[in-house]
Structures are given as structure tokens and as C-alpha cells.
Amino acid sequence: MKPPRRRPNGGNHKENHRSDHRDSTSRPDDERAPPLFPYPILYRSPRFVVVEKPPGLPVHPGPRTTRTLEDVLPALSRRPDGPWLAHRLDADTAGCVLIALRKQALLDAQECFRAHRVGKTYWAVVTGRPASESGTIDIPLARQDSPSGWRMIATPSPDAQPARTDWRTLGHANGLTWLELTLHTGRTHQARVHCAALGCPILGDPLYNPEKTTAPLHLLSRRLQLTPGTERIDATATPPPAMADTLARLGYRREESRNQSRKTSVSDGV
């Protein structure tokens, strides 16, 4: 895995509950996150932070980006070693992103991802309805380049990388289905391509859903679970407003989910 870009830094959080940038405490300045960090924090410890990334925000700079999650990471720690992105999330996907505040923490997290010891649960709203209530999609993925750009394709080609996704239906109505996806691998666009391969592309996906719509991508990195070193991380994100509105028509209860998202399991282990 290519090491994420190193950034300058700013103060540690030692609380371990969901908060936002308006959170303030009486801790010393070198142990308090500055009030300018603009995104909700789902989990924090001396070694890690899990933030709730909004849809449309790239995690790192690119040729067409104006602002990124990486730009604001210095607000999370003043230590000279970190913080770093521990993994990637598509710009249009919302939800959990893990940030390592120390170099050893980054290495521990990368080992978890490399060894597939990370629980990754996604929520998606898809068009159509699967033929059954649950199942597994085990189809390799490969990158396909063309003059108009690139995309991932599901293919048995020997050059393709193994990819496996478990899915189950949580609700359905009016031609839409609410799916819970468990990703056992971490391929680029895995959830998006596998939903399309299921015959139910994700609502608002401009690349893999042929139905044109003004809706944003309805994909959420709902829950992230891993144990880097001896620290157990368990963080849960809430759907962004547009996705929450759609989910409400499929049986989603906002209050229940909001309460669940505040429950994080913590063991610092440092």
C-alpha cells in the first residue's frame, strides 16, 4: 500500500465519543483539537481519529480538487509525526475515514487493511430489487481505460483482483432497495461495481448506473471496525441528508440510527 501523504499537524483528542468541531473542554492546548476542524468526529484516541466525511469531498488532492479532507488534517494533531490518512474513500462516498495520528499507529492500521482484518460495512440505496433477500458477490475486478476515462469492470480475467461482497436487504419501496454491504476486500469502486453486477446499480452513480438522475451517490461507509495493535476501533456514521431522506422512505429511523452512531468501543492500548 502506498503510504498516505504526510501533513503538518495540530493537537490530540483524548475523548472517545462522537463530537463535532464545536466541542470544547478544559484540557491543555496541546491535547485539545482546535475548534476549526469542520467535520464530525466519530472516534478519537491518542493514536487515531475516525471522521465522518461528507459526500463530494475528496480525501486527498488531485488535478481537479479545490479542497480535500487532507487539507484540514493539521487541525487534529500538533505532533511532528502525522497525521496521515490510513485508507481511501471515493470523493462521492460519505462516512467513516480513519486517520492515524502517529507513525506507528499508521503502520498498525495498514497491517490490518493488508491482512483483511477490518470490518467494513456500507449502506447503499440501489435501483431495482435483488431476486433474493441476501447473498454474496464474488467477482474479480479490473481497471479498464478508454479515451473518455477509466472505470472498474467485473471480469474473470487473470489480471483482475479478487473481490467479495456480502449483501442483505434492509428495506425496499417504489423501485428502490436499501442494502447493507459487507466488503471483505478493498478494491477500487468495489461496492459500486458489485451492486451493478447484481443488477441493482447504486442510485446516483454516474459511472455504473445507466439511469440518469440528479440524485447524489447514495453510498455510505456506515461502520468501520479494526484492532490495530491492542486498540479496538468501532465507529458508525450517519447518512448524509439526501441519502437519509431516501432511506426514510425505505424504513430508516433517523433517531435510532443517530443514537447508534454515538456508540463507539474504545481501548486506547498506548
State the catalytic residues.
Answer: 90
Phi-psi region of 56 (alpha: psi -120 to 50; beta: other; left: phi over 0): left
Instruction: Give the Cα separation of 203 and 30 in Å (integer).
Output: 43
**Preceding omega of 83 cis (within 30 degrees of 0):** yes
- Tell me 108's DSSP state: H
Please provide the DSSP assignment of 5-50 as one string. PP----PPP---S-B-TT---SS-GGGS--TT--S-EEEE-SSEEE
60 strand-pairing partners = none
- Tell me 75's DSSP state: G
